[in-house]
Amino acid sequence: MATPLKIIMIASECVPYAKTGGLGDVVGALPKALKQMGHDVRIIIPKYASVDARKFGLKPFHSPMGVWMGGVEEWCSADEALTEEGVPVYFIEHQGFFGREGIYNNSRHEDYLDNSRRFAFLTRAALQLCIDRNIEADIVHVHDWPTAPAAAYLKTWFWNSNVLGQAASVLTIHNIGHQGKYGRDQYGYTGLGWEHFTADKFEDLGNINFLKGGIHFADMVTTVSPSYAEETRNTELGAGLSAYLRVKGDAYTGILNGVDYNEWNPETDPFIPARFSAANLEGKAICKAALQQHFGLEVNPNIPVFGVVSRFASQKGLDLLYPAIHTVLKEMAAQFVILGSGEKDLEYKFMQLPAQYPGKVGSFIGYNNELSHWIEAGSDFFLMPSRYEPCGLNQMYSLRYGALPIVHATGGLIDSVEQYDEYDGAGNGFLFWDAGPKSIHNTIGWAVSTYYDRKHHMAKMIQYAMGQRFSWERSAGEYLKVYEQALQRRRQLVR
């Protein structure tokens, strides 16, 4: 192995302590894989009110700690715990900022009005903790807008620190739709200096843009799939930041997330009615029958089941799937099972569907982890009509469970789903290029005809899909290359 690196991850989420989405999964899984490869990794996150201090064995680590923000000194402390794999996690405790029910918003889904202060403080406090406790770093790896300013702090405030002065910064973008835009009146508190409030750094049409500033200052910027990197660089999916990503050149790249196969493995899954493997698919037939029965569908092994597990948000394209389900059911023998929650209008529509198509559609509105495993295990196909998808996890789970994914060709879906070839049965799923009800209808039709008419191709694709692995070890190897590049860039910059 190359020389072990000292890596600090600073983030607003980390599984199992605090999670709202994929960011939390990555910050939970990547350090584990890096540690197994012999690197020294430490994680710094807030101590939210929701973090169960007793369950996770938090202990006092550093107190009191004074953190200078623009013109004010904030006082806080830090606790410490170890993950199951022995990775140290430091929790920044600040009752005023983090002692609340939610991570970014309250229970009415309203963003906290002081989020710019909360996360600028988190970032500054995390770096201060390293200085105070002499925690040296080769790499400071930050995630999305909340901790993006670390890249700037490192180059402006801590550039001559003994502890952090040599550290290179890596910023990972999990979803460029969230940039951390706030009024310029919030800028002073960050302490970043008005010379950096310019259009190429933190300024965005007169306001602050945390992510944009982070992109400018980070030695390397990554996102969660190679295709999403291209889309954000070159299309409207860059959400206004394409030009700034293009400027980064080779310093912007995409790395596909890995899957936690301890949790998503049909051979050991404790949630599903029967276990199965590529070599023995009998259990999958049992899972399909149980799924059909649970959702009140006709229990019939010869009708293809299409599964959906999703947030109901415009990004996920379920409003495009909804009309396609109606047209498909007019023409074809197929069944649909939908699990999800989110936008009220879609919740209502999908809640009504089983009554309109008795025995053909089942739905559950809500969040239910066990049911999501049932759907992966019991479905023949898995639908993801996302308008955009930075990485996506469900398509990788469904490959492992032999539920062939049917996906819009975007982002991480392009990088994990390979188009079925009707000539020889190659591929692992079905891609469509135009996200609209008509192409969704046609692609489902293609899958249905494959299911009925080309069973040998179905069998071949299922074998291939179930044998594929999108492991964290592979992703961690890619991140290590990025860390090396970041260090090289940083060395050229050190004053």
Q: What's the min distance (Å) between Cβ of 20 and ligand ADP?
A: 9
Query: Rounded to 5 degrees, what are φ and ψ at 26?
Result: -65, -45
The CB-of-195 to ligand ADP minimum distance in angstroms stands at 37
Q: Which of 128, 372, 443, 450 binds ligand ADP (CB under 6 A)?
A: 372
Note whether 147 binds ligand ADP by CB under 6 A.
no
Residue 340 interacts with ligand ADP (CB under 6 A): yes or no: yes
- Report the C-alpha gap between 451 and 404 in whole angstroms: 11
Least distance CB 466 / ligand ADP (angstroms)? 18
HSE-CB at 359 with a 13 A cutoff on CA atoms is 5
Q: Which of 105, 166, 314, 341 binds ligand ADP (CB under 6 A)?
A: 341
Token duo for residue 233: 């660089």
Q: What's the closest the beta carbon of residue 308 comes to ligand ADP, in angstroms?
A: 9
Residue among 26 and 303 whose Cβ is closer to ligand ADP: 26
Amino acid in position 316: K
Pick from 63, 235, 369, 471 the residue near ligand ADP by CB under 6 A: 369
Instruction: State yes or no: cis peptide before 31, omega within 30 of 0.
Output: no
CA-based nearest residue to 474, from 396, 401, 408: 396
C-alpha of 292 from chain center: 30
Helix, strand, or coil here: 293?
helix
Tokens of 123: 């970032």
Say whether residue 265 binds ligand ADP (CB under 6 A).
no
Answer yes or no: are the C-beta atoms of 80 and 44 closer than 8 Å.
Answer: no
Q: Of the candidates 185, 133, 127, which has an alpha carbon nearest to the alpha carbon of residue 156?
A: 127
- As a whole number of angstroms, the distance between CA 51 and CA 13 comes to 11
Residue nearer to ligand ADP on the CB measure, 372 or 443: 372
Cβ-based nearer residue to ligand ADP, 21 or 477 = 21
- Cβ closest to ligand ADP, residue 314 vs residue 439: 314
> Is the Cβ of residue 214 or residue 340 nearer to ligand ADP in the bound state?
340
**Interface with ligand ADP (CB under 6 A), residue from 122, 308, 393, 399:** 393
Q: Does 310 interact with ligand ADP (rule: CB under 6 A)?
A: yes
Query: Binders of ligand ADP among 46-105, rule CB under 6 A?
Result: none
- Least gap, CB of 60 to ligand ADP (angstroms): 34
- Binding ligand ADP by CB under 6 A: which of 51, 309, 404, 431? 309
Q: Which two tokens stand for residue 184?
A: 């310029």
Q: Scanning residues 5 to 44, which ones bind ligand ADP (CB under 6 A)?
A: 21-22
What would you report as the CA-atom Rg of the chain, rounded to the nearest whole angstrom?
Answer: 24
For ligand ADP, the closer CB: 75 or 367: 367
Comparing CA positions, the residue from 388, 436, 406 lying closest to residue 336 is 406
Interaction between residue 404 and ligand ADP (CB under 6 A): no
- Answer for which of 128, 394, 416, 450 binds ligand ADP (CB under 6 A) is 394
Q: Cis ω on the peptide bond leading into residue 358 (within 30° of 0)? A: no
| Window contacting ligand ADP (CB under 6 A); options: 63-71, 99-107, 129-137, 303-311 | 303-311
Shortest Å distance, C-beta 362 to ligand ADP? 14
Sign of CA dihedral 21, 388, 324, 415: negative
C-beta of 270: minimal distance to ligand ADP in Å? 16
The residue from 253, 368, 463, 485 that contacts ligand ADP (CB under 6 A) is 368
- Count CB-CB contacts under 10 A for residue 335: 24
Residue 221 pairs in a beta bridge with 171, 252
Which of these, 239, 250, 261, 263, lies nearest to 144 by C-alpha position?
239
Helix segments in 133-172, DSSP class H:
144-147, 150-156
Is the Cβ of residue 116 or residue 310 nearer to ligand ADP in the bound state? 310
Binding site for ligand ADP (CB under 6 A): 21-22, 309-311, 339-341, 367-369, 372, 392-394
